[in-house]
Chains A and B, each alone.
Chain A
């Protein structure tokens, strides 16, 4: 079945970097956009942006430019989120979420979602 499996929890010190992976299975990876969503502890959902899995072109939401990098390895059907120069306020669960519909299928909601990766930034 279609699923996204993310890498495990991370504990990092301020100033370090982290790379979260999101491995797709059950469909052709390059046919659907991949989104990233942040959820701070006890808070709601915040869309970080998306990456075109066909071209590799990323789009970042305001507030997620500069220290956040979306990338791909299409050979292993995996999307990545890298966060550079981590700050305490980056502590959150990070989700990858695929567009429900393929490219050219129109705008769409997100389905499925990865299980989430908790990134904790603490000295």
Chain B
């Protein structure tokens, strides 16, 4: 079974530029998450999708971040304009229920550096 795919793996941009990240979840997983992981910290949720609907975006800085999952499969996360503090690893996860328990499976992440 293929895992969660993310691209690009690395991105370097100047502040105030825009950037987009792509995620393709594990086939059949209806729930998709985007997390932000700042160096030395645990991941923090940005947004949760169930199929193509948003379930939780309470921690998403909506003035600069946007995300979509139009067909309920792959997803795009965009930052516009980027700030220095957006430098982080952006992790995508999808989940399934195994033995009654939800388990999230993570992609390799996109490492963003904003200069």
* A and B are partners in one complex rather than unrelated chains: no
User: A residues touching B (Cβ–Cβ < 8 Å)?
Assistant: none
User: B residues touching A (Cβ–Cβ < 8 Å)?
Assistant: none
